[in-house]
Structure formats: C-alpha cells, structure tokens
Amino acid sequence: MSRTSLDSRSPAFAEDELRGNGSTLDIESRQIPISRGENMIRTLRFFTLAVAPLFALATCASAGQPMAQPVTIEYYYKLAPGGSSEWLALYKKNHNPLLKELIKEGLLKSEKLYTRRFHAESPAWDYKIVMIWRDWSALEEAHNREPEILKSLYPDKEDHDRQEKRRWELTLAHWDDVLDEVPLD
C-alpha cells in the first residue's frame, strides 16, 4: 500500500483496502488501512523502545559492577532513644549468628558493625553495618538459604520471631547504601 494522504483517496477505495488485509488503525474515528509490513515495523519499534533500554541498563550495571566482583553494602539503623543497648543485644543474639553462617558458607566475606565516635546531626544513625558479599548472586543465595539456617540456629521459631520483632520496633529508620568502588589509578 502506498503512503498517500487519506483525503486523496475515496472512501470506497479505503474500504476495498480494508477488506484485503483486515488490519486497520483508528485515528480520530477514521479507519486507516495498515499493511502487514507496517504491523511488523510497529512491533519492532515497540520492542526497540520498550526492551532495548532494559538491556542497556543491564549492560551499564554489569559494566560498573562485574557480576563476579565483591559487593559492599552499608546498612544504617536509627534507633529509638534509650534503645541502642537492647537493639545491639538482640542483633548479636538473633541476626549475627545467621551472618556468621553465611560467612562460613562463603556467601558473605565480612561483616563489621560501627557506631559513631562523635555526635553528628545528619545523617542520623546509631549503628552502621558494613557487609562485603562474595558477589551479586551471593545475596540471592543467602536469601534462599536464610530459612534453613534460621531453623537450625533457632528451633523455637516463635521466640526468635518475637525477639526480631522487638529489634525492629526499636528501629526508627533503616536504609542501605550499595557502594561502587571508584579506582584511583
């Protein structure tokens, strides 16, 4: 089908074309015939516009942080006033053993807990935990392994869940920062 103005064709001509391939595009209540080639072009344009950016993002993400490289994440916790010692005791009792198991399994390379030496207004946090994961896939593996590890460490699931709930009640704010190392050479 040639690309001519709709107004230059008679309505009868357009109806004949419509019967030929059965595809139409409705623009402002006008039936404009679409050839099969144009349908394919529209489909390719859609996938190019919708899917190509996703591939570009994935490529950029993997270029900045190769999949086999360690991943450093900082986890920040702002606690209720007067709750820091209880929070820390619950963390050491109920969460740290899980992380030690992940270190034994090689998914987590290290875990370090920090508190500020000097007071600072912003950003307000009481504890920062820095974890270095083996790679991105280790985070997913750890997530999948967590229920089994918790079951072996804490046979009384209700008691563990209650204590973890309490630790999160003491947490006023929590956020994570995934770090990307910038080479200086």
Say which CATH architecture domain 71-179 belongs to.
Answer: 2-Layer Sandwich (3.30)
Task: Report whether pLDDT(65) > 80.
Answer: no
Q: Whole-model pTM above 0.75?
A: no
Q: Which of 37-41, 114-118, 152-156, 181-185 has the lowest mean pLDDT?
A: 37-41
Q: With 70 as the cut, is the pLDDT of residue 64 above it?
A: no
Whether omega for the bond prior to residue 33 falls within 30 degrees of 0, making it cis, is no
Strand 108-114: give its sheet, edge to edge.
Answer: 108-114, 127-133, 71-79, 171-179
147, pLDDT greater than 80:
yes
Q: Provide φ and ψ at 67, rounded to 5°.
A: -60, -30
Burial 142-170 (b: 16+ CB within 10 A, else e): beebeeebbeeebeeeeebeebbeebeeb
Average pLDDT over residues 84-90: 97
Helix (H) or strand (E) holding 31: strand 30-33
Residue 181 in tokens: 């190392």
pLDDT interval class at 148 (50, 70, 90): very high
What local confidence, expressed as pLDDT, does residue 68 receive? 85
The ranges assigned to domains in the chain are: 6-64, 71-179
Measured CA to CA, the distance from residue 168 to residue 151 in angstroms comes to 20
